[in-house]
Chain A
Amino acid sequence: MIFNSLTFLAFIAVFLPVYFALTGRARLWWSLAGSYLFYGWWDWRFLTLIAISTLVDYYLGLRMGQTEGEKQRKHLIWASMLLNLGFLGFFKYFNFFTDSFVDMLQGFGLNPSVHTLNIILPVGISFYTFQSMSYTIDVYRKDIKAEPSLLKFATFVAFWPQLVAGPIVRASDFLPQFQKDHDWDWNRFTTGAAQILWGFFKKVAIADSLAPFVDQCWQEPMSFTSVNLWIAVVFYSFQIYCDFSGYSDIAIGFARILGYDFPENFRTPYFSQNFSEFWRRWHISLSSWLRDYLYIPLGGNRGGKMAMYRNNMLTMLLGGFWHGANWTFVFWGFLHGLYLIVQRILGKPFGNLMRALHFPNTLKVAVNIALVYAFICLAWIFFRSPNFGIATDVIANMFSFENFNLVSVMNKFIVMKGFLLIAMLLAVEISDLNIQWSGVVLRSPVFRVASFAVLLWLIAFFGTFGSNAFIYFQF
C-alpha cells in the first residue's frame, strides 16, 4: 500500500477511529494487524520474512538479556546478524553477486554457465532489517534491555508509517513509547496533519512533477541537448529529495497523530556547507545508524588520519551498497567517501584561501553551498543511472555544451513548472530557518486554517496523481 493511493485513504479512514477507540494490548494488536495489512497489500507472502525476522530477533534479544557470558552473547548477536543480513543478502544481492562473479570470470576468458534466480525484492527490506538489527545490537551492547513483550516488539518492527521507507527508528527511541497509551491529542493531530500535507505536497506536486522530465532524459541521454541534461540533473536532485523526505514527513506526521515521536530524517540538506554537514542533514536515520553501528565500531576518528579515511570510505561504500545491488550505487557511495576525505584534507586550506581573499561571510556561505550541491549532483548522476554507460553518456553530453541555449530546452512548460515548484520549496525552507512554520501552525488557529487550505489547493493544482511509488521503496 502506498500513501498516495485511494486504498490508503480507505485504510486510514478505518484504522484511525478504531485505533483511538481501543486501549492497551487491543490497540497494539490493532496496530500490528494494520501494519501487516499495510505491508501484505503489496505481497502477503513476504509477511513471513518480517514475521521470521521478528520472532528470531525477539528470541535472541531475550536470550541475550538473560545471558551474562560474553562468548554466548557474541554467538547470539552473530546469529541475529546472520539471519538479518542473510535475508538481505539473498533477496537483494544474490543475483548481483552471481552476475558480478560471472562477469569477473568472463574477464578471465572463462564462460561459466551460472543461472540467476528470479527473486522478487521485498519492499522496504533494507529498512526493517536495519531497524530490527539496531535492537539486537543495542541489547548486545547493553544499551537497552530486551523487550519482554513479543507484541510490542513485533509492532516496533512492523509499524506501518515507517515500515517500507523509514525513517529507521531505533528501538531505544521507539520501544519506550509503547509503555503507555496515547490519547487523541488535538495539537498532535494538527501538527501531524500539517506535516503530512507538506509531505504530500513534496511528493505528489514536486517529486512527481519533476519525474517525467528526468525519466525522459535518462532513458536516452544522447537524444537530448546538453542544457536539458543539466536541468534533468537539478530536477533529479530535488525529485529524490522531495520523494524521500516527503515520505518521511508523511510517516512522521502519521506517527505523531498516533501518539509517537519519530526523529527528523531530513533537515534542509541542500543548504549544507560541507559534506559532513550534508550527511547530518540527509537521511539522518540511516547516516546516524551507519555512524553508530559501523563507523564508530570500525574505529571512527580514532587511530590516525589514514584509519579515519579508511573508515569513512568503508562506511560510505556500504551506505551506497545498502541502497541497491548495483555498482552505480557503490560508486555513489565511493564518491561521497572521497568527498569526505578530500574535504578533510583540503577543507582548512580552502577556508584559509577564502579568508585571505577577504570573501564576505555571505559570499563564503553561498560558495560553499553551491560547491557542495554541485558535487552532490554529480554523485546523483550515478545513483540515478542503471549502469555506468548511461551515467557517462549523461556526463559527456552535459559537458559537451552542445546547443546550450534556452531554445533547445525540451519542454519549457514542464521546466518552468519544475523550477517554480523548486522555488516554492526553497522559499519555505529558507523562511523556515527563521520562522519555524510548525510552531506558527500550532500557535495561530487562523494561520493553521489558511495553511491547510493553501496546501490542499497547491496539491490539487500541482499534484500528479498516478499512484507513483516512492523511489526509496526499491531500497
Chain B
Amino acid sequence: MKNILWVIGVILLAFLGDRAAGFVLGKITQDSQFRYSRLYRGGENCDMLFAGNSRGLIFYQPYIEEKTGRTTCNLSYNGMPMDLAAVLIKDFLDRNSLPSTLVLDVTLLDKRMDKRLVTGFNCYVPYSDRLSALMRDSFPNDFYGGKVAHLYRYNSEVFQRVFYYLKKSDKDWLLDRVISPTLQKDVEKQGEFDYDFTPSMVESLSDVVRYAKQKGVRVELVVNPYYPPFAEKIGNLEALKTAVEQATGLVVHDYSNSISGVEGFGDYQHLNKSGAREYIDKLMQDGILGLPEEMGNISGK
C-alpha cells in the first residue's frame, strides 16, 4: 500500500509541478518583449513589417527607425522555413495594426531551412490555430508531447529567447563582428551554391503576398546581400527570382551583390551592423521601405 501511495505521489507531484511550471512559463511567454510574444499579445503598431530567415535580421530596426522615423516589427528568425513564416505573417496581420509595408527576403525558400524550427514555437501554440495546425500536421509527437507535459512546450531555443528578452527589446538582434580571414578563404574553396526551393514553397509565399495585399499592405520582395565572393557562387538565383516573380506578380529586388566591403559582413551570408546600415540606406534610396513622400522626415535625418 505504501508503495502504491509512493507511485501516486510521484505521478501527482510530477503532474502538478508540470502544470504549475507551465503556467508560470506561459505568463513569461505572454509578458516577454520578444517579437513573437508581442505578435500574439496583439496591439502592435508597426509601419513596416520585415520577415526572413537569419538573413532577415539584417533589416536592422534601430537604424531604420532612426532614419525613417517609422515604427518597425521584424518576424525573422534563424533558419525560418517558409511554411512557418507564412503562419507568423498571417497571424501578425490578423492580430495587430496593419503595417503599410511588408518586406520579405525570399532566400528563405530553401529546403535547408530548419523544418523542425516550428517545434520551437510550441510555446506559442496555445495562442494560434494556424500554428497549432502546422505543428500537429508536421510534428505530431512534439505537438501532443506539449499537451502531455506543458514543460515540454517551453523546451526550445525560442523560449530561451523569450526569457532573455523578457524585459528588453530584441530590435538590436544582429551580428556585430567582421568576417574572419579564415572564413573569407573558406568561401573561395566552396563549390557552387544552389537554392533548393520547391513549388509548394513558392506557392506558400505567393499565398502570403495575396493575403497581405488583400489587407491593403504593400509588399516588397528582396534578396538580401551576400559576401560578394559567395554571391558569385550562387547558381540559380535567377531561377528563384523568376519563379517567385511569376507566382506573385511582384518584382524581386536583387541586392545579393550590392555590398562590396569586407567590413560590412559578419560572415558570408550575413551583414553585420555596419553593413546593415549601408544596405538600409540603399533600400531607402530605392524606395523599398516606402515611397519618399510617405516617409516624412527622411531628409531631416
Residues of A at under 8 Å CB distance from B? 6, 186, 190, 220, 222-223, 225, 397, 400, 402-403, 405, 407-408, 411, 413-414, 416-417, 445, 448-450, 452-453, 456-457, 460-463, 465-466
Whether A462 pairs with B155 at a CB distance below 8 angstroms is yes
Whether B182 pairs with A402 at a CB distance below 8 angstroms is yes
B199 within 8 Å of A (CB atoms): no
B245 within 8 Å of A (CB atoms): no
Residue of A nearest to B160 (CB): A413
Interface CB pairs A-B, < 8 A, 25: A6-B141, A220-B186, A222-B182, A222-B186, A225-B180, A400-B182, A402-B180, A402-B181, A402-B182, A403-B177, A408-B180, A414-B157, A416-B160, A417-B160, A445-B2, A449-B9, A453-B17, A457-B14, A457-B21, A460-B151, A461-B152, A463-B152, A465-B142, A465-B145, A466-B116
A416 vs B160: C-alpha distance when bound (angstroms): 9
Residues of A within 8 A of B267 (CB): 223
Residues of A within 8 A of B2 (CB): 445
Residues of B within 8 A of A403 (CB): 177, 180
Whether B17 pairs with A223 at a CB distance below 8 angstroms is no
List 16 other contacts, CB 8 Å, given A414-B157, A460-B18: A186-B3, A222-B186, A223-B183, A402-B180, A411-B157, A413-B160, A445-B2, A448-B6, A453-B13, A456-B18, A457-B17, A457-B18, A460-B149, A461-B151, A463-B155, A466-B116
A452 vs B21: C-alpha distance when bound (angstroms): 16
Which residue in B6, B161, B180, B182 is a CB contact (below 8 Å) of A449?
Answer: B6
B164 within 8 Å of A (CB atoms): yes
Whether B14 pairs with A407 at a CB distance below 8 angstroms is no
B154 within 8 Å of A (CB atoms): yes
Whether A461 pairs with B154 at a CB distance below 8 angstroms is yes
Contacts A397-B182, A457-B151, A465-B141 given; does A413 touch B6 at CB 8 Å: no
A407 vs B272: C-alpha distance when bound (angstroms): 12
Of B6, B141, B181, most buried by chain A (CB within 10 Å of CB) is B6
Q: Give the Cβ gap from A25 to chain B, nearest Cβ, in Å.
A: 29
A447 vs B160: C-alpha distance when bound (angstroms): 29
Residue of A nearest to B181 (CB): A402
Whether B181 pairs with A453 at a CB distance below 8 angstroms is no
Q: Give the Cβ gap from B43 to chain A, nearest Cβ, in Å.
A: 27
Which residue in B3, B10, B176, B182 is a CB contact (below 8 Å) of A452?
Answer: B10
Whether A449 pairs with B160 at a CB distance below 8 angstroms is no
Whether A461 pairs with B155 at a CB distance below 8 angstroms is yes
Residues of A within 8 A of B13 (CB): 449-450, 453
Q: Which of B22-80 contact A (CB under 8 A)?
A: 78
Residues of B within 8 A of A466 (CB): 116
Residues of B within 8 A of A461 (CB): 21, 151-152, 154-155
Residues of A within 8 A of B21 (CB): 457, 461
A405 vs B178: C-alpha distance when bound (angstroms): 12
Residue of B nearest to A190 (CB): B6
Residue of A nearest to B3 (CB): A186
